[in-house]
Amino acid sequence: MRLSNPITKTVVLILCAALGISVGISMSASAAGPDTDLLNRAKAVFGPLPASMPSPDNPITPEKVKLGNILFWEPRISVDGTVSCAKCHPLGLYAVDGLRKAVGNRCKENPRNSPTIFNAASQISAHWIGNRTSVEDQAKQALVGPPSYGMPSYESVEKVLRGMKGYMAMFKDAFPGEKEPVTADNFAKAVGAFERTLMTPALFDEFMQGNAAALTTQQKRGLALFMDSGCMTCHSGPYLGGQMYQKFGIFEPYEKYTKSLPVDEGRSAVTKSPSDKFLFKVPVLRNVAMTQPYFHDGSVDKLTDAIAIMAKVQLAKDLTSDQLSDIAVFMSSLTGKIPDQILKVPVLPAADQP
Amino acid sequence: MRLSNPITKTVVLILCAALGISVGISMSASAAGPDTDLLNRAKAVFGPLPASMPSPDNPITPEKVKLGNILFWEPRISVDGTVSCAKCHPLGLYAVDGLRKAVGNRCKENPRNSPTIFNAASQISAHWIGNRTSVEDQAKQALVGPPSYGMPSYESVEKVLRGMKGYMAMFKDAFPGEKEPVTADNFAKAVGAFERTLMTPALFDEFMQGNAAALTTQQKRGLALFMDSGCMTCHSGPYLGGQMYQKFGIFEPYEKYTKSLPVDEGRSAVTKSPSDKFLFKVPVLRNVAMTQPYFHDGSVDKLTDAIAIMAKVQLAKDLTSDQLSDIAVFMSSLTGKIPDQILKVPVLPAADQP
C-alpha cells in the first residue's frame, strides 16, 4: 500500500493510541496539578485560534471583505436565481444548512454534506475530498458547478454582475487599478477574503489562554479523553482538523455503522490512486456541536453517535455512554460566539436603475 | 356587475383621473409656491409612515419580536429543510426573492410573485388575491402550504420545534402563562409581531414631514405626475397601496402587455364571485424600485415598463419616456433605509443537545 509520509505517520500514531501507548507528549502528573498538565498538553496539540486566516495569494483588505460579504449573499448570479453562498452556509446555523447533502440550483443534490465555513479557510484544501485547492478556488468553481450555482460559464456570471451598476464601484474599490475588475476571479478573491475573516473564538480558546476555569470539570474530562483516546492525532491544530487526509474506516468499514448508501470512496476520485480510497479530509471540529448532521454524507444526526462511530472505526474503541457524553460536552466548548459583524445582512445592489 | 361600494368609488375616481377631471383636492396654486402645494396635496393623500404596524389581535412585545425574528430564519420546520420565511423574503434584497414566482420546498413553484414584507403588515389582507387575512394568517398557513413549507400538519411543525430545546424558553418568554406555548399559532403570532416592526422610512417621508428639499426636482415632477395621472387613486395612504382590491386591466386586458401565461383571474378564485375576476390587491409601492420583477406574476422586469403598462391598462394613458422616467425616479424616493436591527442574522438553537 502506497502511503504518503504524513499519513503513514498518522496511522502509526492512531495505532499507538488504539493500543494505549503514550506517544510524544509526557503524561506524567506535574507539581502544578492536573489542570495545568491538561492545559500544557492541549496547548502543545492545538494552539490558539488566530484572528484571521490570511493568504499570500489573496491579501485581506476591508474593501475586498466588504464586497465578498455582499457577494456571499447574492443569488442573482445563479442559473435559477436561488443559490448564493448563504444558501448552503446560513450564518445563523453556524454556516451549515442542516441537510444530509447540500441542495443547489433546481433542487439538485450535491455529492456531500455542506461543511461550515467558519474557521475553515486555513485547511489544506476545500471540500471533503480536497477537490478544491482553497476557499477562493471553491467559490469560483461553485459558480459553474452543475449542482451548485449551475451557471453555463464564468462569462455569464460576469455579464450578470456587470449588469448591476451598483457592483462596479465596489469591485473597483476592492481591486484598484484593474481595468476590468468585475470578473469571476475577483468574485472568488472577494468571497475568499470574506471567508478568511470568519473566526468564532470559543470557551476552549479562553482555556488555551490559561484560564483553567473556562471549562467545566466534565469538559476537561472530555478533553483529556479526546486526547488520550487518540482523536487528537488527526483533529489537531487550532481548528482541531483540516490539516490532513485520513482513511475513514481504519479498523472497520465506516458504512457498517453509518449505513451510508452509496459508499463514497473519497479522495481516490480526485487522485485516481487506489491508496486514496476512503480518504477524506479530517474535518475541522470548531462548532461541531452546532453543525449536525455529521460526516461527509450527513448520515449521522447525533453528536454522541458520531463520536462513538469514530472511536469504533478509527480507533477500535468502544466508548461508554459516559465517555461519549464527556467528549460531546467538551466539544460544546468549541462552539464559538459568532461576531456581530458576521451576522449582518448586507443590502444588495438594485437589479434595475430608474 | 356587482361591485362593493369602495371599489365603485375607486373606479369612478380612476375614470375621472383618466378623463383629466380634477377630484377632491384642489389643484389651484397657492401663494406658498409649488413645493408647498405639492407637499400639501401629497400629505392629504399619503400621510406619514408609522413607527410600527400594531394589531389588537397580536400586541407587539420585545420577546415576541425576538422569537419571531429567529423563527423567520428557521428552515428546519419545512418538509425538506430548505424553506424559511427568509427564503422568499431575503432581507438584503428588500425582502423579495427576485424571482417571477416564489419557489418553495422541493423547488415547487408558487402561484404568484413574492411581495416584500417591509411596510406590509397593515394591508387589508396578505397575498396578491387576499387569500390570507393577515400576516399572522399568512405565516401560519405557509407552514402547511404545499408549495411553501409543505409540512403535513401543524402538529408536525410543533413536534420539530419542541424537539429543539432552545426554543422552549423563548416561546415561554414570548407567551407567558401559557401551559404549552410552542404551537403553530404562536409561531404565527411571533413571526407576525416581527413583521409588524419591518418599517423602512425613506426620503419621501422626510418630504412628507415638510422638508421640500428631500426630493429632487425630477422626483417632485414625478410625484406630481403620479398624483395627476391618477396612480394615487389606488396607491394611496402611507404605504402607497395595500388598502383595496382593484381590477388589473380596467381599459385593456393586462395580459396584452405583460404577456402573462396563464392569465390569472385574481381574487375571484377566493370569493367565487364573477365580479371579482381580475381583481388583485393594490400592492404597496414602498421600496418598489428595489423589488423587481413586477406584478402578481413577476412578468415585467423593468420599473419604467411596469409604470407604462399600469398607465395604459388602468388609466388609458400613454406616458412619454420622460414621464415614465420622472415617475420611476420619484419612486426611488420610496426606497427606505433598512434599519440595522432588521439586518441582523439571529443565531438559531442547536438541533441536538450534547
Q: For position B26, what pLDDT does the model report?
A: 40
Give which of B76, B93, B97 to mutate to test A binding, by max A Cβ within 10 Å.
Answer: B93
Tens of pLDDT, residues A5-59: 445 555 555 554 555 454 444 444 445 688 999 999 999 999 889 988 989 999 9
Q: For position A352, what pLDDT does the model report?
A: 81
Nearest CA in chain B to A326: B354
Q: For position B104, what pLDDT does the model report?
A: 98
Q: For position B150, what pLDDT does the model report?
A: 98
- The answer to whether residue B2 scores a pLDDT higher than 90 is no
Q: For position A7, what pLDDT does the model report?
A: 53
B81 contacts A75? CB cut-off 8 A: no
- The answer to whether residue B56 scores a pLDDT higher than 70 is yes
Angle at A81 between CA A79 and CA A83, to 5 degrees: 85
Residue with cell 493568504: A55
B324 vs chain A: nearest CA distance in angstroms?
9
Interface predicted TM-score of the whole assembly (ipTM), two decimals:
0.91
- The answer to whether residue B9 scores a pLDDT higher than 60 is no
- The answer to whether residue A1 scores a pLDDT higher than 90 is no
Q: What is the pTM of this model?
A: 0.92
Radius of gyration for chain B, computed over Cα atoms and rounded to the nearest angstrom: 21
- Is A24 buried (19+), middle (13-18) or exposed (0-12) by CB count in 10 A? exposed
Which of B188, B40, B66 lies closest to B121, judged by CA?
Answer: B188
Answer yes or no: are the C-beta atoms of B231 and B74 closer than 8 Å. no
B155 vs chain A: nearest CA distance in angstroms?
21
Length of chain B: 354
User: Which residue of A76, A107, A350 is in closest CB contact with B107?
Assistant: A107
Tens of pLDDT, residues A218-276: 999 999 999 999 999 999 999 999 999 999 999 999 999 999 999 999 999 999 999 99
- Mind giving me the DSSP string for B4-69? -HHHHHHHHHHHHHHTT---SS-----TT-HHHHHHHHHHHHT-PPPS----TTS---HHHHHHHH
Tens of pLDDT, residues A126-178: 999 999 999 999 999 999 999 999 999 999 999 999 999 999 999 999 999 99
Residue with cell 440550483: A105
Does B354 or A153 have the greater pLDDT score? A153
Split at pLDDT 50, 70, 90, the class of B17 is: low
E runs forming strands in chain A: 245-247, 279-281
Task: Give contacts of B215 with chain A, Cβ < 8 Å.
Answer: none
- The cell for A145 is 458547478
Task: Give contacts of A99 with chain B, Cβ < 8 Å.
Answer: 81-82
Q: For position B12, what pLDDT does the model report?
A: 52
Tens of pLDDT, residues A288-310: 999 999 999 999 999 999 999 99
Distance CA A181, CA A333 (A): 42
Percent of chain B with pLDDT over 90: 87
What integer is the mean pLDDT of B283-289? 98
What integer is the mean pLDDT of B210-228? 97
Task: Give contacts of A118 with chain B, Cβ < 8 Å.
Answer: none
Percent of chain B with pLDDT over 70: 91
Nearest CA in chain A to B344: A344
Angle at B6 between CA B209 and CA B287, to 5 degrees: 40
Residues of B with CB under 8 A from a CB of A: 70, 73, 75-76, 80-82, 90-94, 97-99, 103, 106-107, 289-290, 292, 301-304, 325, 328-329, 331-332, 338, 340, 343-348, 350-352, 354
Residues of A with CB under 8 A from a CB of B: 70, 73, 75-76, 80-82, 90-94, 97-99, 103, 106-107, 289-290, 292, 301-304, 325, 328-329, 331-332, 338, 340, 343-348, 350-352, 354
Q: For position A305, what pLDDT does the model report?
A: 98
Q: Work out the mean pLDDT of chain A and round it to a whole number.
A: 92
B75 contacts A81? CB cut-off 8 A: no
Q: Work out the mean pLDDT of chain B and round it to a whole number.
A: 92
Split at pLDDT 50, 70, 90, the class of A208 is: very high
What integer is the mean pLDDT of B193-215? 96
Tens of pLDDT, residues B18-40: 555 544 444 444 456 889 999 99
Distance CA B32, CA A333 (A): 68
Q: For position B295, what pLDDT does the model report?
A: 98
Percent of chain A with pLDDT over 70: 91
Q: For position B48, what pLDDT does the model report?
A: 86
Distance CA A340, CA A342 (A): 5
Least confident of A90-94, A315-319, B44-48: B44-48
Q: For position B339, what pLDDT does the model report?
A: 97
Count CB-CB contacts under 10 A for residue A32.
10
User: Which residue of A103, A107, A332 is in closest CB contact with B354?
Assistant: A332
- The answer to whether residue A69 scores a pLDDT higher than 70 is yes
Tens of pLDDT, residues B253-265: 999 999 999 999 9
Tens of pLDDT, residues A176-204: 999 999 999 999 999 999 999 999 999 99
Count CB-CB contacts under 10 A for residue B246.
23
CB pairs under 8 A between A and B: 103
